[in-house]
Amino acid sequence: MLPRIEVPSPRPSLQGEGGLRPRRDNPLPRERVRAERAGEGLATGRDHRLLAIYIHWPFCRSKCPYCDFNSHVRESVDEARWRQAYLTELDNFAAETAGRLVVSVFFGGGTPSLMRPDTTAAILDHIAARWPLAADLEVTLEANPSTAEAARFRGFREAGVDRLSIGVQALDDDALRFLGRGHSVAEARAAVALAALIFPRFSFDLIWGWPGHEVAAWRRQLGEALAMAGEHLSAYQLTIEPGTAFWREGVPAAGEDTGVALYELTREVLAGAGLPAYEISSHARPGGECRHNVAVWRGADYLGIGPGAHGRLSRNGGTDATRGIRAPEKWLAKVEARGAGLAERVPLTPPERREELLLLGLRLAEGVRRDGFRALAGVEPEDAVDRAALARLAEGGFIESDAAGLRATPAGRLRLNAVLAQLLA
């Protein structure tokens, strides 16, 4: 039976994006940068000394009708308090992870470009003072393309951000209005051009598959996107998430045929232009992948700092899952009162860890790498799935397994939720 199309959400619940290219000039204090690269440890996800850090900024100017991220609109934010809370929460993990090499810092949200650049700088300086930094460290910040935020781009660069990820979403003003975005196509173009001037690396997000989105229009928009793209582009299928305004209004998701046509076109056009999909929705020139997300998808350890942020930390041969308190003000109050904002820290059982590694790894074009899976889960990938389902899915052309590992084909990645449901039945 053909698995139903049901794309996984744009970002796995373990937040985070990945890249293997050495960063160019690192603006963080030189003496704190260790002359050491993340190297093959990151490539396999097996070196537990490596550490990624995810910082969640939970505020947005307005709530987009499709978005179910932990993002909130507030009239004002006491940034000095928030800054101190992030520093305190980082300190909570500093002793336990002392000496581990930080390979990436990812400011996600929410809209972290609403943060003041001096807050970003304070957080990065704090990290640099507590952990050794990889020479090829990647520091990404997600940004909205409104003019007001673009005015801060230079400040973020000076703070140490070397990769900007911009929420363009659409190159069509009617689509932007439908998606509830507060910016125009002209502003988005200007923001991308400015990012290309200021940052060594940049990416932008597009959403496809809104009601009435036609293949011919998407082909044209992909061409326009490529004309302004750098080494990385994310193209997400619009998903109607429970609890969002689109869900309440009954906005329909793209039909199956349209979904397949738009997905195939995206893959074909972007791969033809030298940016193949290295993950369901992420496209990059070789070496331009987002280092942070690739590390997370390969099962590396990462700290989750901020409201609702997830983290993974290995100790004593097992892995703990951490999660911050979701409500921003409750998280802030808890950090201020108790010095920590975690809602929970639980050891994952071996089956849970195996399932998670499959769930994350199969998003990637390279799939679950045999060496990495063995090192992190202690068994072969095939031992962690239903063998009969695996044979059926391989026969149907949705899964491949060989000496390198286990991977979903492009058709399998389009239906990953359904494929996983069968594999993990």
Ligand X SMILES: C[S@@+](CC[C@H](N)C(=O)[O-])C[C@H]1O[C@@H](n2cnc3c(N)ncnc32)[C@H](O)[C@@H]1O
Q: Is 109 in the site for ligand SF4 (CB under 6 A)?
A: yes
For residue 149, the SS3 value is: helix
Subset of 144-163 contacting ligand SF4 (CB under 6 A): 144
Nearer to ligand X, 210 or 331 (CB): 210
Nearer to ligand SF4, 112 or 372 (CB): 112
Name which position in 54, 57, 69, 178 contacts ligand SF4 (CB under 6 A): 69
Q: Is 172 in the site for ligand X (CB under 6 A)?
A: no
Q: Is 419 in the site for ligand SF4 (CB under 6 A)?
A: no
Q: How far apart are CA 215 and CA 234, in angstroms?
A: 18
Q: Is 111 in the site for ligand X (CB under 6 A)?
A: yes
Name which position in 132, 167, 307, 311 contacts ligand X (CB under 6 A): 167
DSSP 381: G
Nearer to ligand X, 109 or 361 (CB): 109
Q: Is 269 in the site for ligand X (CB under 6 A)?
A: no
Report residue 281: phi and psi, to 5°: -115, 0
Q: Is 106 in the site for ligand SF4 (CB under 6 A)?
A: no
DSSP 7: P
Q: Is 69 in the site for ligand X (CB under 6 A)?
A: yes
Name which position in 3, 19, 110, 209 contacts ligand SF4 (CB under 6 A): 110
Residue 76, CA distances (Å) to 60, 73, 81, 205 in order = 11, 9, 12, 27
Nearer to ligand SF4, 99 or 242 (CB): 242
Name which position in 32, 37, 48, 63 contacts ligand SF4 (CB under 6 A): 63
Q: How far apart are CA 189 and CA 319, in angstroms?
A: 42
Nearest to 302 by CA among 33, 52, 107: 52
Q: Is 306 in the site for ligand SF4 (CB under 6 A)?
A: no
**Contact residues for 177 (Cβ-Cβ < 8 A; gap 6+):** none
Nearer to ligand SF4, 144 or 266 (CB): 144
Residue type, 140: T
Residue 63 binds: one of ligand SF4, ligand X, none (C-beta under 5 to 8 A by kind): ligand SF4
Q: How far apart are CA 292 and CA 53, in angstroms?
A: 8
Smallest distance from ligand X to CB 113, Å:
8
Indicate the helix (H) or strand (E) that contains 221: helix 215-228
Q: How far apart are CA 280 and CA 296, in angstroms?
A: 14
Neighbour count for residue 91 (Cβ, 10 Å): 13
Nearer to ligand SF4, 109 or 299 (CB): 109
CB under 6 A: which stretch of 106-114, 234-242, 255-263, 412-420 binds ligand SF4? Answer: 106-114
Nearer to ligand SF4, 71 or 401 (CB): 71
Nearer to ligand X, 88 or 184 (CB): 184
Q: How far apart are CA 368 and CA 297, in angstroms?
A: 9
Smallest distance from ligand SF4 to CB 150, Å:
15
Site string for ligand SF4, 161-180 (x = CB under 6 A): ------x-------------
β-pairing, 342-347 with 302-305? unpaired
Estimate the crossing angle of helix 370-377 against helix 350-361, to 10 degrees. Answer: 160
Report residue 402: phi and psi, to 5°: -150, -165
Smallest distance from ligand X to CB 114, Å:
9
Name which position in 26, 44, 120, 169 contacts ligand X (CB under 6 A): 169
Nearer to ligand SF4, 200 or 328 (CB): 328
Smallest distance from ligand X to CB 241, Å:
5
Indicate the helix (H) or strand (E) that contains 356: helix 350-361
Q: Is 67 in the site for ligand X (CB under 6 A)?
A: yes
Q: Is 221 in the site for ligand X (CB under 6 A)?
A: no
Outline where DSSP puts E strands in 50-198.
Answer: 50-57, 101-109, 133-143, 163-169
Neighbour count for residue 386 (Cβ, 10 Å): 13
Residues in the chain: 425
Q: How far apart are CA 5 and CA 301, in angstroms?
A: 30
Which residues of this protein are in contact with ligand SF4, per CB under 6 A?
60, 63-64, 67, 69, 71, 109-111, 144, 167
Which residues of this protein are in contact with ligand X, per CB under 6 A?
10, 60, 66-67, 69, 108-109, 111, 142, 144, 167, 169, 205, 207, 236, 238-239, 241
